[in-house]
Amino acid sequence: MIRLFVPDPLDADALIRPTTEQAHYLIGVMRRGVGDEVLLFNGRDGEWRAALAAMSKRGCDLALREQTREQTPAPDLELIVALVKRARLETIVEKAAELGASRVRLVVTRFTGSDHTNVSRLQAIATEASEQTGRLDVPEVVAPVKLERLLGEWPDGRRLVFCDEAGDARPVIEALREPAPCAVMIGPEGGFAPDERERLRALPFVIPVSLGPRILRADTAAISALTLVQAAIGDWR
Amino acid sequence: MIRLFVPDPLDADALIRPTTEQAHYLIGVMRRGVGDEVLLFNGRDGEWRAALAAMSKRGCDLALREQTREQTPAPDLELIVALVKRARLETIVEKAAELGASRVRLVVTRFTGSDHTNVSRLQAIATEASEQTGRLDVPEVVAPVKLERLLGEWPDGRRLVFCDEAGDARPVIEALREPAPCAVMIGPEGGFAPDERERLRALPFVIPVSLGPRILRADTAAISALTLVQAAIGDWR
């Protein structure tokens, strides 16, 4: 069944007006008509079954029927990723949503080729992937900041899982034992600069980890690292 | 440094003639000239440093200088993947090479949309990814067979890690404890048919595993499953 993310409160008897794009997708692309059902979620009120109640040229209305799943807490797991090339970054955001990341932060490091990207497009990709993967929330995509600022404003209590290509770090499964808020960081294709790496490894909240003996592309590294954190301390246990 | 896979024996003083495509890549694309160095591997004799010794319109010669790495045994880890759409299948083969799979088998199941693919193109993708990821061998891509035949000819001693979407299977990290030859199987986008799933779960060499609570696309499932097997019993420990 089609799943749509909506910002509105979801409650019995609510009537939801999806966006123009969502209405076009439902009616124009997927050929749904009055009475057909969809699933809705908003990140707060669980998942609800709703029926197409009215259609017009300007859009459609969805009438809520019943809650199909309760909202459950999701692991507090951020992905921090350097601004790699656009196609690869889009893949990474899509996969972060599939793998249950709660937030995607973009970071600019010394060897990052660019300092900006289309955040709203990445947010739309995260939303669509969340609709398809069955989760009850959508990871927020946060605009890029420089590595130094990110580290300077690091919040208490969050661990930074640093995927260190240099090779003497521990495997994720060994390094992470107790569930806690956590962020996984993936560098740019050229890796971190030597002083960035030294700075990272000296910080008390940083846990360096290894992703095996081969060189991974950024998208593979992001997927593998999120998978291992979910398996070690997240909701894949 | 550029790494190239060649079929020839690698030994001190050997002179290697790369393929026309490799010569074009070295000279035409990467602008290498006489005396410039590359790394060569063949899956048997480790990795060797070689220098461009002669160039002509028809190609070039590479003179071996010294061995840079000895051949080391790689985990016996196959990926079995249903024939999903071409772009996704190409991604999966690329990632299987990055993640250290020793072989990629293609399988046709009930809900597989197609029964053929361009195996030599997939093999070329596996070779290129192996060159870039730093491994010392190239995973073989095996032409598609039907699921029933694959299971009927299953070799003694190999476990089949079946990524079961139905959800009551154990996490990979729990299910796999002892290193052994192993194959990871990923179904088509529509999943396995109920009777295929029953047949798989009844076989003594099959280990059903779960890949978390969300629906994963085939490429994400392949990457996550290979990552977890490498972390549990492979060379990521």
Query: Which are the contacts of A208, defined by CB distance < 8 A and separation ≥ 6?
Result: A162, A164, A169, A170, A175, A200, A201
Nearest to B230 among A133, A212, A237 (CB): A212
**Structure confidence by residue, pLDDT tens digits, B91-114:** 999 999 999 999 999 999 999 988
The answer to whether the CB atoms of B133 and A215 lie below 8 A apart is yes
Where is the domain boundary, A39, A69, A99? A69
Verify that A63 and A82 share a domain, yes or no. no
For chain B, the domain total comes to: 2
Verify that A123 and A165 share a domain, yes or no. yes
pTM of the predicted model over 0.80:
yes
Q: Is the ipTM of this complex over 0.90?
A: yes
Verify that A54 and A91 share a domain, yes or no. no
Verify that B62 and B83 share a domain, yes or no. no
Q: Amino acid letter at B153?
A: E
Nearest to B98 among A95, A173, A216 (CB): A216
- Is the CB of residue A187 less than 8 Å from the CB of residue A109? yes
Q: B236 contacts in A (CB within 8 Å)?
A: 171, 210-213
Where is the domain boundary, B47, B69, B91? B69
Question: A228 CA to chain B: closest CA distance, Å?
Answer: 7
Helices (H), B43-118: 86-98
CATH number of the domain enclosing A54: 2.40.240.20
CATH number of the domain enclosing A160: 3.40.1280.10
Handedness of CA B106, B108, B113, B115 (dihedral sign): positive
The answer to whether the CB atoms of A235 and B228 lie below 8 A apart is no
Nearest to B220 among A98, A134, A216 (CB): A98
Verify that A57 and A144 share a domain, yes or no. no
Verify that B98 and B38 share a domain, yes or no. no
Domain that holds residue A193: 77-233
Q: In a structure prediction context, what are the per-residue pLDDT tens digits for chain B, which is 237 residues long?
A: 999 999 999 999 899 999 999 999 999 999 999 999 999 999 999 999 999 999 987 889 999 999 999 999 999 999 999 999 999 999 999 999 999 999 999 999 999 988 889 999 999 999 999 999 999 999 999 999 999 999 999 999 999 999 998 768 999 999 999 999 999 999 998 899 999 999 999 999 999 999 999 999 999 999 999 999 999 999 998
- pLDDT attached to residue B165: 82
**Structure confidence by residue, pLDDT tens digits, A99-114:** 999 999 999 999 998 8
The answer to whether the CB atoms of B224 and A223 lie below 8 A apart is yes
Verify that B152 and B125 share a domain, yes or no. yes
Verify that B60 and B89 share a domain, yes or no. no
